[in-house]
């Protein structure tokens, strides 16, 4: 109990948020270091696109894991940092799309549009990014006050749609190469995270009946 209390106190300290943002930036900084040192392999563009994409999923999954971890480990202060993780997922998702648009398509809009309409996995990925945008833009206290708590919560339930679309984007990309083992790992994790939410809502309903 004392250990949990200590962790909760640490998560509420003024330095905790800057530390979380620093940790969120580390994968991107490491990518830049590797790129500067020409350590991204034979196809640096593909490596950057893949890395930013996979980190988008990781940050998004971690965002969804905050509530279960709060309850399982008894750490309510974790909620203080959930929005930072969600914004980080959006930033990495935006960088993922920009890396594709710049490194793969040379920022030629016509080529990007044709590619989006032709390839389903890109269309789904772009849709996920579009849905993430209002979530990132309203991940601040002023937005919560402006929208009202219920409307804000309803809007941010889109994160579940974004997660499913992100997983589908990843699956279609990998299935083209008959390489879905990594996708299955993320699918199982997402199923657990969403299943936990369903179970918790059912339990709350039983308790209130």
Q: How confident is the model at residue 2 (pLDDT cuts 50, 70, 90)?
A: low
pLDDT at position 202 over 70: yes
Q: 62-107 pLDDT, tens per residue? A: 999 999 999 988 899 999 999 999 999 999 999 999 999 999 999 9
Q: Is the pTM of this model over 0.75?
A: yes
Say if CB 169 and CB 52 are below 8 A apart: no
Main-chain phi, psi angles of 57, to 5 degrees: -65, -45
CB half-sphere exposure, 91, CA atoms < 13 A: 13
Write the CA distances from 181 to 61, 62, 63, 204, integer angstroms: 17, 20, 23, 35
Q: 5-44 pLDDT, tens per residue? A: 888 899 999 999 999 999 999 999 999 999 989 898 889 9
Domain edges within the chain: 2-208
Q: 138-147 pLDDT, tens per residue? A: 988 888 888 8
Say if CB 100 and CB 47 are below 8 A apart: no
DSSP 140: S
What is the DSSP code string of 31-68? HHHHHHTT-S-S-HHHHHHHHHHHHHHHHHHHHHHHHH
User: Residue 205: its pLDDT value, please?
Assistant: 73
């Amino acid at each position: 109990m004392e250990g949990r209390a200590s962790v909760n106190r640490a998560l509420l300290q003024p330095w905790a948020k800057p530390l979380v943002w620093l940790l969120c930036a580390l994968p991107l900084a490491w990518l830049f270091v590797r790129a500067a040192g020409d350590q991204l392999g034979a196809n640096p563009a593909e490596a950057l696109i893949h890395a930013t994409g996979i980190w988008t999923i990781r940050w998004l999954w971690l965002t969804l894991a905050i509530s279960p971890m709060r309850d399982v480990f008894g750490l309510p202060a974790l909620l203080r940092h959930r929005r930072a993780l969600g914004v980080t997922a959006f930033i990495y998702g935006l960088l993922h799309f920009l890396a594709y648009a710049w490194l793969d398509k040379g920022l030629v809009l016509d080529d990007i549009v044709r590619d989006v309409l032709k390839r389903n996995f890109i269309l789904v990925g772009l849709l996920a990014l579009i849905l993430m945008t209002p979530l990132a833009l309203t991940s601040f206290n002023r937005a919560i006050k402006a929208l009202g708590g219920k409307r804000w919560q309803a809007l941010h339930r889109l994160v579940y749609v974004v997660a499913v679309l992100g997983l589908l984007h990843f699956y279609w990309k990998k299935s083209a190469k008959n390489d879905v083992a990594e996708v299955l790992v993320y699918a199982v994790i997402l199923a657990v995270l969403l299943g936990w939410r369903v179970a918790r809502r059912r339990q709350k309903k039983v308790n209130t009946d």
